[in-house]
Amino acid sequence: MNTESTLFSNVNIIDGSGDAPFAGHVLVVGNRIEKVVSSPDDLEEQAGTIIDGQGKTLMPGLCDAHLHLTWNDQPTLEHITLMPPEEHLIHSINVAKTVLDAGFTSGVGAAAARPRFDCILRNAINAGDIVGPRYLANGQEICTAGGLGDTSPVHVDIQDLSFGWRVCGPEEMRKAVRMFVKFGVDLIKLNLSGEEITPVPAQTTPMSNEEVAMAMQEARPYGIRACAHARSADSVKQCLNHGVQIIYHASYADTECMDRLEAEKDRFFVGPGLAWLIQTSQGAADWGIAPDSELAQVYARELEYAVEGMQEMRKRGIRIVPGGDYGFAWTPHGTNAKDLEYFVDLIGMSPMEAIVSATSLGGQIMGMPDELGLLKEGYLADLLLVDGDPSADITVLQDTSKLEVIMKDGALYKNAL
């Protein structure tokens, strides 16, 4: 008997590849999937722990490709950094647990609200000091003066009031990226376009090509990838031109963007972040953004563009990944699986395609395509046992009571059976 092994017997397997579900048995040894078989044979003797799946669904853990563990459920951007650092850190630790409880066993940090927060959270998760998803740590959003991220009311050298890191010119960009590299980031984040709730609207592209080029030049020697806030067509083109592989939003991507994304579909990912658009236009009345307000209407129009664009990208085979910018008052952490419902209802994906976007593509965007995101022999054992069939009803993944077992890295984080 191997005490560090777990057998999931009698499960309906969704392997994350998009193939149809099939009945089987899965043996996990250490932190990897050792065997996926149709007949259990002598596996029970090899397993330390046996979980009788009773025909429920076993599938790879989910990946949120646009995760902000340090967004603290505030009603405005300015409020994010008004929470004192001590409370903010505790809040972020709790968010990491909330995300894992929601079945997301991995996530791409899409920017931190303070310089080192993401790095220390990732390190603490990896050390087992706190619980949370596998996490790619980011720096702060690097932004232009007055753009999204620069929430300081005055232009001084003290950056504490901003959740983004403000730069003016390539040399300040060089300094910013080197600072985040020193802190140990896996990614950098560039705010290339504006955002409607800021003085710089979504279709504006304020960061210069010189600044973007400098950021990539400084990140590249370390193998550090970049992601970008890119709503405007020009900002998407900056991503394509400079090799920013993770493109968030892309609401106003034009035909040229589509053609180029399609031609390089193995290189780029698009994360639309639909939850933010949907909830800000329709679900934020309690926080002063009534659906008939001008701001909500602007977001509703952007949502229409984004949905149409994502439908087109899906047809072209461009990799679309979930992650809805959760962590504002009206987009609370833990509701991350709503994105998959949006993918089905708005973009036209089948439930299975939505599952692939959160599992197989998750492994790819995490930079671990050969060992994460599939339920396959040799892959890391990040698994969910779901009471229900997400390939028939994708919304079942939003009900944490249905996520009966959550395994991360071969360890049973949750076993409610």
Which residues are near Zn ion by CB under 5 A? 110, 325
Calpha distance 148→193 (Å, rounded): 8
Calpha distance 372→134 (Å, rounded): 11
Helical (H) or strand (E) element with 255: helix 255-263
Q: Which is nearer to Zn ion, 204 or 391 (CB)?
A: 204
Q: What's the maximum distance between 2 C-alpha atoms anywhere in the chain?
A: 69
Shortest Cβ distance from residue 229 to Zn ion (Å)?
Answer: 7
Shortest Cβ distance from residue 278 to Zn ion (Å)?
Answer: 14
Q: Is 99 helix (H, G, I), strand (E, B) or coil?
A: helix
Alpha-carbon Rg for the chain in angstroms = 21
Q: Which residues share a beta bridge with 405?
A: 385, 415
Shortest Cβ distance from residue 354 to Zn ion (Å)?
Answer: 20
Contacts of 233 (CB under 8 A, 6+ apart): 203, 252, 253, 254, 256, 257
Q: Which is nearer to Zn ion, 325 or 339 (CB)?
A: 325
User: Where does residue 156 rank: exposed (0-12), middle (13-18), buried (19+ CB within 10 A)?
Assistant: exposed
Helical (H) or strand (E) element with 375: none
Q: Which is nearer to Zn ion, 8 or 71 (CB)?
A: 71
Q: Which is nearer to Zn ion, 15 or 339 (CB)?
A: 339
Shortest Cβ distance from residue 43 to Zn ion (Å)?
Answer: 43
Shortest Cβ distance from residue 10 to Zn ion (Å)?
Answer: 40
Q: Which is nearer to Zn ion, 338 or 414 (CB)?
A: 338
Shortest Cβ distance from residue 222 to Zn ion (Å)?
Answer: 23
Calpha distance 404→54 (Å, rounded): 12
Q: Which is nearer to Zn ion, 78 or 262 (CB)?
A: 78
Q: Which is nearer to Zn ion, 40 or 271 (CB)?
A: 271
Closest residue to Zn ion, based on beta-carbon distance? 325
Shortest Cβ distance from residue 95 to Zn ion (Å)?
Answer: 14
Calpha distance 366→65 (Å, rounded): 8
Contacts of 234 (CB under 8 A, 6+ apart): 193, 205
